[in-house]
């Protein structure tokens, strides 16, 4: 099952920089592990925003929810999920 996911990140200004950097490093490793195993198919930066559009390929809504909830930046994200179906004109 394919999902388009938009993640908007908003790290509080008063979070110490070292703590923010540690969370971002864990986020990067978590994201790259999922990219390597094929479930996080692609990630794109939204120009000019601390946000991304990503494509996930997972077997259920529950699996996607588990993956998203495990993001180290999850507490600082607004996430919007769009389930994707095959377009009849796709070749
Ligand atoms: O930078 C972001 O868009 C947030 C997050 C998603 C993957 C990752 O490494 O960081």
pLDDT at 86: 97
Ligand 1 closest atom vs CA 52: 3
Q: 1-28 burial string, b = 16+ CB within 10 Å, else e?
A: eebebbbebebeeeeeeeeeeebeeebe
pLDDT at 47: 98
Residue 22: both structure tokens together = 């540690």
Ligand 1 closest atom vs CA 45: 3
Confidence (pTM):
0.96
Lining residues, ligand 1, CB within 6 Å: 7, 9, 27-28, 31, 43, 52, 73
Kindly indicate whether the domain formed by 2-84 is annotated with CATH number 3.40.50.2300. Answer: no
pLDDT at 51: 98
For 28-82, write each residue's pLDDT tens digit. 999 999 999 999 999 999 999 999 999 999 999 999 999 999 999 999 999 999 9
């Amino acid at each position: 099952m394919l999902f388009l996911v938009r993640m908007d990140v908003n790290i509080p200004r008063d979070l110490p920089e070292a703590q923010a950097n540690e969370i971002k490093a864990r986020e990067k490793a978590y994201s790259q592990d999922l990219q390597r195993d094929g479930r996080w198919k692609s990630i794109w930066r939204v120009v000019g925003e601390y946000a991304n559009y990503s494509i996930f390929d997972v077997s259920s809504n529950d699996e996607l929810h588990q993956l998203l909830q495990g993001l180290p930046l999850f507490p600082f994200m607004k996430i919007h999920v769009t389930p994707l179906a095959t377009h009849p004109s796709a070749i």
